[in-house]
Structure 1
Amino acid sequence: MAVPARRGGVVSDDLPVGRRVAYWRARRKMSQQVFADRIGKSKSWVDKVERGVRRLDKWSVLQEVADALGVAAEVLVDEPGPAAPAQPAGVGVDEVRAALTRHPGLLQLPADHVPVDPYRYRARIVHADAMYGHAQYPALIRLLPGLLDDGHDLATTDRPPLQVQTYRLTALVLVKLGVQDLAWLAADRGLAVATGTDDPLLEAVAALPLGQALRAAGRQRAAFETTVTAAHQVAPLDDESGTSDQRSACATLLVQAALAAAEHDDQPTVRELLAGAMVLTEPDSPARAAVDAAQVTAAAALGDLSGAVELHAALAVRDRWRSLPVEHRAAHLVDVAPAQLAAGDPAAAGRALLDADRLAPAEVRVRPAGRAVLAEVLTGSPRPSPHLLAVAEAAGVDSAR
């Protein structure tokens, strides 16, 4: 293996992350297989990272790689701090953390205490869910502490489903904001409530955000096991059994399991799971569009950049693409932009981010992953458009070239 260029006894500053990983792995006298086993990945995954085919774009995974190599993560990225942008100011994460820390069941309530009205509470959840669907994350995060507190005080037999929905929304928005540890906690709380009901469909609803939180935290194996197990419990995996809600929940869980498998470089499993999700969804439904979008994301995760770009182009002209929620479409565009950039089309990557910004500005300007992609596209574009530079300025992303 070629030794990376060195300057002053350290790895050259202009080396990509993958080459730095290869250098330090060789310094530690580890084969690719030994290193892969140490971090719970496949040898193929390590090889793709080192060749630059696969990006290390999650700080949690980068930290795990650095720990296995016995170096600081900053050594691999040549930055003074975490690769992910700092948490946006004023989004209210501390208040959500405090609400998750409180245990109202241990508090003494006054004698004249009036329980929360379940009908009004359900209306608040519907409103919060709509806010998530339109990627209004800063506003939504401010509503969640009250929903979390009041969810413990519902005088109704419907309390578990309502609590599960609140924990679900909390976990999903925290994943978006890059607060993986808290997202994991919220999702686990929701699943604990659901499993106490003996309702497989409610358990499926609760398992989905836990799978997403585990993926965001770099725990792909645990995410895969959680979502596959829940999928098999909620509905038989064929095209005739189960209610429409069960089939939809099962397909959504299979999609999450497939994305976890893709991030673990398991292409045969990805293909099998997405085929199963396809069988469970109607051809022109939003659920089928979600499967199509997952095929794009999985292809990019597996290193098939040209395939990802082609699949996205085919999806974007179909009617069912517009049936996806605004949040989902914008997030998908943020995910596909790096693949377009790596495939040699920075202009298309820039257009994808502009489209995402028009649909849901918070996906690009607030979400740490979106801001990181924006910075990457700006760096990789010889002549970024003035519109993209304006988005970068509004997002507080350094566009200096």
Structure 2
Amino acid sequence: MQQATWIGGAMKPTGKDVDPQDRSFGQRVQKLRKDQGRTQAELAATLGKTSSWLSQVERGIQPVQRMDLLQQIADELGVAVQQLRPGPSEGSGMSQQAAPLSLSNDLDETRRLISGHPALQTLLAGGDSEELRPVDLLRNDVNDLWELTHSGRMAQVSALTVELLPELERATRTAPEGARDELHLLLSRTYQALSAAFVRQDEADAAWVTADRAVFTAERSGDPLHVCASVFRMVQAFVRLRSLGQAEHAARTAIDALVAEDGASPEALSVLGSLHLSLALVHARAGARSEAKEEIGRARAIAIRLGENRNDFNLEFGPVNVEIQAVSTAVDLGDAGEALDIGLTIDAADLSPERQGRLLMDLGRAHAQRRHGGEALDCLLRAEAIAPEIIQTHQSARAAIRELVLVAGVNASRDLLDLAERADALD
């Protein structure tokens, strides 16, 4: 029977089941590292990884399949990629080009797609293209993309995007003029979904790129509220990039524009309220307590005026989401008691798995701040069950897990240690 263990949120082989090629690769990395007199921690830091991750690579447990990461490791060690991972032998009948490295199962294919120009061939051909699918079918695909994003099914997000995004990019350039506004809107919604997905995967630079494209295509659609919704996605990317000044400027610019127009439609209120919540997040991360609470208060007033939970522009704005953000803001500011007082009264059952998972993660963080180890672990495990990437990619979640392990010491439970391993929280 094969032996396996949970590592980094996925089942990895151990012992005899390690792929010989991965083991050989790890041994080469280890030898080169040691020849240079570098520790695992030192090399891992230059790669933006943890020492535990590098340890798993060197033991062959953690495969390195992304070409960009393989190139980065080779560059750091001062060798060619071919020295780290030789291609097939000459007698194998396969060239290196015929056997490319596989990509991981999340958003790598999508990231590669947006690194090029999805419609360059159409431009060079002077606008000629194959027949376009009906707009209602494209619209259904965009709706499905958002559903997959909210559900955290990132492999399916990537698979759908690889087909849908180039098609929409071509359609906006080749469809009759009268149909292009709606196609630009569908393209903007697609880029908004991708930005949200990249944020959830902690791919902040890709989230910024896609949010910027969402802004541009929303403007071409003639829908200013979608422009503002795209700015919301950009703010989230800036926060993940720790560019709080840019995040504040982007949010404030959109808020000022909406207030100046005095939009009172439910859709406009949803966008405005969501932007105030994003600004509360920015202030909380900056430690600006009073400013963060003022923005929560403004969002709460808008939610009361709105009177219901809505999902305009896939923002899920409404009274419940405001309180979820109030919990997160309180935890970021160190007000664990306030966070628990608010959070334990919230019924988020009707919201997406993303929102439910975020609430549970923040409640876990609040319990951890109060040294409620059992309650914190329970919340974090429930968050992981609903939305695994929140635990695996969110720095605050990993910090809370690490703190729980340190506090528990030798009494740390198996469940806690396993969670810490899956979240890569044990540097």
* TM-score over 0.5 (shorter chain): yes
Report the 3-state secondary structure (helix = DSSP H, G, I; strand = E; otherwise coil) of the residue aligned with 1:314: coil
- Name the CA shift for 1:153/1:340 in 2 (closer, same or farther; >3 Å): same
Q: Give the one of 101, 104, 115 matched to 1:101.
A: 115
Question: Are residue 335 (structure 1) and residue 362 (structure 2) matched?
Answer: yes
Query: Which whole-Å CA distance do the structure 2 matches of 1:372 and 1:147 have between them?
Result: 37
Query: Which whole-Å CA distance do the structure 2 matches of 1:116 and 1:369 have between them?
Result: 43
Shift of residue 83, structure 1, vs aligned partner: 6.2
- Name the CA shift for 1:206/1:106 in 2 (closer, same or farther; >3 Å): same
- What is the letter of the counterpart of residue 128 of structure 1? L
In 2, are the aligned partners of 1:347 and 1:381 still within 8 Å (CA)?
no
Question: Are residue 260 (structure 1) and residue 282 (structure 2) matched?
Answer: yes
Equivalent residue runs for 1:198-209 within 5 Å: 198-209=222-233
CA deviation digits over 1:121-148, x for unaligned, max 9? 2111111111122222233233223232
Query: Which whole-Å CA distance do the structure 2 matches of 1:212 and 1:333 have between them?
Result: 20
Shift of residue 396, structure 1, vs aligned partner: 6.9
- What is the letter of the counterpart of residue 211 of structure 1? V
Q: Give the one of 334, 342, 346 matched to 2:373.
A: 346
How high is the TM-score relative to the length of structure 1?
0.69
- 2:291 aligns to what? 269
Shift of residue 257, structure 1, vs aligned partner: 1.0
| Higher deviation after alignment, 171-180 or 110-119 | 110-119
Unpaired runs of 5+ residues, structure 2, are 1-40, 54-63, 67-102, 310-316
Shift of residue 261, structure 1, vs aligned partner: 1.2
Equivalent residue runs for 1:2-401 within 5 Å: 82=48, 90-107=104-121, 108-109=124-125, 111=128, 113-154=130-171, 155=175, 156-157=179-180, 158-235=182-259, 242-282=264-304, 285=309, 287-315=318-346, 319=347, 321-365=348-392, 370=397, 373-382=400-409, 383-389=411-417, 391=419, 395=422, 397=424
Cα RMSD, aligned residues only: 3.2
Query: Which whole-Å CA distance do the structure 1 matches of 2:144 and 2:401 have between them?
Result: 30
- 1:71 aligns to what? none
Report the 3-state secondary structure (helix = DSSP H, G, I; strand = E; otherwise coil) of the residue aligned with 1:153: helix
In 2, are the aligned partners of 1:334 and 1:373 still within 8 Å (CA)?
no
Report the 3-state secondary structure (helix = DSSP H, G, I; strand = E; otherwise coil) of the residue aligned with 1:196: helix
Shift of residue 353, structure 1, vs aligned partner: 0.9
- Could you say which structure has the larger radius of gyration? 2
- Name the CA shift for 1:152/1:381 in 2 (closer, same or farther; >3 Å): same
In 2, are the aligned partners of 1:338 and 1:377 still within 8 Å (CA)?
no
Shift of residue 354, structure 1, vs aligned partner: 1.6
Calculate percent identity across the aligned residue pairs.
20
Report the 3-state secondary structure (helix = DSSP H, G, I; strand = E; otherwise coil) of the residue aligned with 1:120: helix
In 2, are the aligned partners of 1:365 and 1:391 still within 8 Å (CA)?
no
CA deviation digits over 1:158-203, x for unaligned, max 9? 0121111111111111111111111111111111222334432111
Report the 3-state secondary structure (helix = DSSP H, G, I; strand = E; otherwise coil) of the residue aligned with 1:344: coil
Report the 3-state secondary structure (helix = DSSP H, G, I; strand = E; otherwise coil) of the residue aligned with 1:178: coil
Unpaired runs of 5+ residues, structure 1, are 1-73
Report the 3-state secondary structure (helix = DSSP H, G, I; strand = E; otherwise coil) of the residue aligned with 1:329: helix
Query: Which whole-Å CA distance do the structure 1 matches of 2:377 and 2:222 have between them?
Result: 47
- Name the CA shift for 1:195/1:259 in 2 (closer, same or farther; >3 Å): same
- Name the CA shift for 1:168/1:314 in 2 (closer, same or farther; >3 Å): same
In 2, are the aligned partners of 1:178 and 1:369 still within 8 Å (CA)?
no
Query: Which whole-Å CA distance do the structure 2 matches of 1:256 and 1:217 have between them?
Result: 14
- Name the CA shift for 1:341/1:103 in 2 (closer, same or farther; >3 Å): same
CA deviation digits over 1:43-70, x for unaligned, max 9? xxxxxxxxxxxxxxxxxxxxxxxxxxxx
Query: Which whole-Å CA distance do the structure 1 matches of 2:139 and 2:394 have between them?
Result: 27
Shift of residue 377, structure 1, vs aligned partner: 3.5
In 2, are the aligned partners of 1:134 and 1:325 still within 8 Å (CA)?
yes
Query: Which whole-Å CA distance do the structure 2 matches of 1:247 and 1:323 have between them?
Result: 20
